[in-house]
Amino acid sequence: MKESKVNIAEEPEGLKGEGFFATSLEKVVGLARANSIWPLPFATSCCGIEFMATMASDYDLARFGSERLSFSPRQADLLMVMGTISKKMAPILKKVYLQMAEPRWVLSVGACACSGGIFDTYSVLQGIDKVIPVDVYVPGCPPRPEQIIDGIVKIQELVKSESLRRRNSDEYKDLMASYGIE
């Protein structure tokens, strides 16, 4: 087995014996979700080109179980916002986020999406966290593909450790309410 190049996801904590393995459902679901994230690329500008490089053969995001891009928000788990979001675009971004089903995560790639970047102007939204909640921020203008992959891995860690009840918690509802999302 050790010779093999195939990597298998690490098993969660649990009780192991001959022919059985017992762990909490939460951990199994987390494991399954984390290694099969379907990202929705919301690529608007330069960072989108680096995302293309991340998807392509040199960096190959498929190694992390995310090669299946979901261009429909209905089936996506992860919203990857890459590039400048202008004020004209902000309502559309929010609409796309609202169309996604729970559980959903948001990865903000690049300085523009995180904070407006170098474009501190009248037309640019100063960070997408003004309109939707963000889970992981990836800095850089644009970030290298390695950084984008690092962001995905961070998201995977979040997904893995998320409690199944989190989306029902009052804290989460308050967060959504603060963005005006019911």
Partner 1 sequence: MLENKYVLEALQAQFGDAILAAEESYGMLSFEINPAKNTEIATWLFEHPELKVTFLTDLCGVHFPNNAGKELGVVYHFHSFENNFRMRMKAFIPVANPTINTMTTVYNAANWMERETFDFYGILFEGHPNLKRILNVDDMDYFPMRKEYPLEDATRTDKDDRYFGR
Partner 2 sequence: MDELLSNAFPKPTAEKEYNILNLGPTHPATHGIFQNVLKMDGEIIIEAESTIGYIHRAFEKIAEHRPFYQITPLTDRLNYCSSPINNMGWHMTVEKLLGVEIPKRAEYMRVIIMELSRISDHLVCNSVIGVDTGALTGFTYMFQWRERIYEIFEEICGARLTTNIGRIGGLERDFSPLVYSKIREFLRSFPAAYNEFMQLLERNRIFMDRTINCGPITAEKALSYGFTGPNLRAAGVDYDVRVMNPYSSYQDFDFKIPIGTSGDTYDRFMVRHEEIMQSLRIVHQALENLPAGKFYAEVPEFYLPPKQEVYNTMEGLIWHFKIVMGETDVPVGEVYHAVEGGNGELGFYLLSDGGRTPYRLHFRRPCFIFYQAFTEMVKGVYLSDAILTMSSMNVIAGELDA
Compute how many other C-beta atoms are within 10 angstroms of the C-beta atom of residue 63: 10
Q: Are 55 and 83 in contact (CB under 8 A)?
A: no
| By the rule CB under 8 A, 98 interacts with partner 2 | no
> Cβ 126 to partner 1, closest distance in Å?
6
- Which of 124, 132, 138, 149 contacts partner 1 by CB under 8 A? 124
Query: Which helix (H) or strand (E) covers residue 87, if one does?
Result: none
Taking CB under 8 A as the binding criterion, the range among 31-39, 72-80, 92-100, 123-131 that sits at the site for partner 1 is: 123-131
Least distance from partner 2 to the Cβ atom of residue 95, Å:
9
Classify residue 110 by burial, with Cβ atoms within 10 Å: 0-12, 13-18, 19+: buried
CB of 161 to partner 2, least distance (A): 30
Considering only 18-26, 34-42, 117-125, 142-150, which stretch makes contact with partner 1 by CB under 8 A? 117-125
Is 20 or 122 the residue whose CB approaches partner 1 more closely?
122
Interface with partner 2 includes 64 (CB under 8 A)?
no
User: CB under 5 to 8 A by kind: which of partner 2, partner 1, none does 126 bind?
Assistant: partner 1
**Secondary structure class of 31 (helix, strand, coil):** helix
Positions 70 through 109 that interact with partner 1 (CB under 8 A): 87-88
Torsions phi, psi for 130 (to 5 deg) = -75, -25
CA distance 133 to 139: 16
C-beta closer to partner 1: residue 121 or 161: 121
In three-state secondary structure terms, 58 is: coil
Compute the distance between CA of residue 133 and CA of residue 117 in angstroms, rounded to an integer.
18
Q: Does 126 bind partner 2 (CB under 8 A)?
A: no
Would you put residue 176 in left (φ > 0), alpha (ψ -120 to 50) or beta? alpha
- Can you give the binding site for partner 1, defined by CB under 8 A? 87-88, 120-124, 126
